[in-house]
Structure 1
């Protein structure tokens, strides 16, 4: 079972939004979300979803995470997306240790970019392939994104994912209804951007880590 950890030590970075859209994009696989955040945002979204895939399981302690993933794999899980809480070193480190791939959501703003320094250190210590996913920025702001890329790649030595999810009202409206942006407005811009995960490959060191094609 492939395992992707969504990690950011800063709150409000878009971890849950990324987790639910990433898992939903893997419709061809048996995907699940492991909600390790005490706020249980992903679990609440699952309740609003009324049982539709992806499945969401709770995990409140780092020591339980390996067992939860193992059980999910035994039951046929093919992809697990771990949604981690902010300011939680123990859970984030355990998620990073168990993951095949780490994604770090980040808004392209000065305070958010400065705050990923701690996350960058955690990611590097894990020795796992990792990418920063820019979230909730202006849809059209090439200079802002270039400046963000310079900080992420130049100052922190992390790679940028070839996919980003800009600020779109559809993300807010859809999650409040237990849906994804694609389900909310299939032809909308947010839906098209979230579907990029289905056709975009993320590769590092000659190995493709993410691709649904």
Structure 2
């Protein structure tokens, strides 16, 4: 599936995704993404199930509920467990694993692997990991919470963000199962960036 920038009504074509659902997630449905995408770079996102049983790299108690995130590895997708309903009153960004590349400018075009989870119900609504392909987009074309998560990080970093509805889809996004007021959680691996 491809993602439309927040507030954009432009019709980007959607592509179906499929994967086995975890106990805390549901199968990904075709939905718009928080970013405007262009052709992906020649790379892949790991599609293997996440490593489980370890200590999460980030846990966050929200205004309601909680979330625990373990970032992706070279061979496995990330793991996002939500104690639903999860919500935050302020967008929170956490670097799970710092990269060693250059700092990503807020006007960069980036290539990332990502998984988006709805805090209301813990369901995955979009995942480039399940498709096995990264996406490339300009940070000027994403919802503000996604940009807050990536700008200022180093290339190679794995980050997580819990974003307020205002920084995601303030009016909701029915095609993704996102309702007005939903907090969104993303696990993101920054593969590359150009200015």
Query: Shorter-normalised TM-score: what interval?
Result: under 0.3
With normalisation by structure 1, the TM-score equals: 0.24
Compare the two structures and name the one with the higher helix fraction.
Answer: 1
Compare the two structures and name the one with the higher strand fraction.
Answer: 2
Q: Max radius of gyration: which structure?
A: 1
With normalisation by structure 2, the TM-score equals: 0.26
